[in-house]
Amino acid sequence: MSKNALWQALRAPMSFFDTTSLGRIIYRFTIDIDALDNNLVVAVQQLLINVAALLGSYTLIVAYFYYLIVLARALLCNTRIVLVDEGTSSVDPETDALVQETLATGLGVRSGGVMDKGKIVELGSPLELWEQGGIFRAMSDSNGTTREMFTSV
């Protein structure tokens, strides 16, 4: 894919951010939109190179690509609000590691929440959520997050 074609594809409106109320709100909370413009093309080019290497001579275009572009957008924008729903359920191990690293940087946030079946079931600081022993704790335990990680931030 040429750099110009890739740039045009990335600059095209993405339906979630442009057509939903939640998407427009999240987009407005973006602190540094230039970070998206400056980093997204390079990140997606690297992604395409990695996918091409994985697939060899086969070309596979699926919702996975769209999902990764949306995920890249969220990671590259310095946002104040990030909603993650099964953030790593459909990605390769390398992208999973990147998402986990990015989420770990959120340990210093003031407050967070956990939704289950469309309802907020846990609210509080990351340490409070961890100490409650609920869903957040289970997710933290599954990726090796310890209590010390919350208290050292």
Question: How far is it, in rounded angstroms, from Cα 23 to Cα 31?
Answer: 15
Higher pLDDT, 125 or 30: 125
Q: Supply the pTM of this predicted model.
A: 0.42
| 75 and 98 Cβ atoms separated by less than 8 Å | yes
The mean per-residue pLDDT over the stretch 58-73 comes to 61
Question: How far is it, in rounded angstroms, from Cα 147 to Cα 127?
Answer: 7
Higher pLDDT, 6 or 121: 121
Question: How far is it, in rounded angstroms, from Cα 54 to Cα 58?
Answer: 9
| 122 and 113 Cβ atoms separated by less than 8 Å | yes
- Name the residue ranges covered by the structural domains of the chain: 3-108, 109-153
Portion of the chain with pLDDT greater than 90, in percent: 2
Q: What tens digit of pLDDT does each residue of 69-102 get?
A: 766 776 666 666 666 666 566 667 777 777 666 6
Question: How far is it, in rounded angstroms, from Cα 153 to Cα 149?
Answer: 7
Q: What tens digit of pLDDT does each residue of 1-58 get?
A: 566 666 666 565 555 555 666 556 656 655 555 665 667 667 777 777 777 776 655 5
Cα Rg of the chain, angstroms = 17
Secondary structure (3-state) at 116: strand
Higher pLDDT, 119 or 89: 119
Four-CA torsion 91, 40, 126, 26, nearest 10 degrees: -110
Average pLDDT, the chain: 68
Measuring CA to CA, which residue among 102, 98, 103 is closest to residue 46?
98
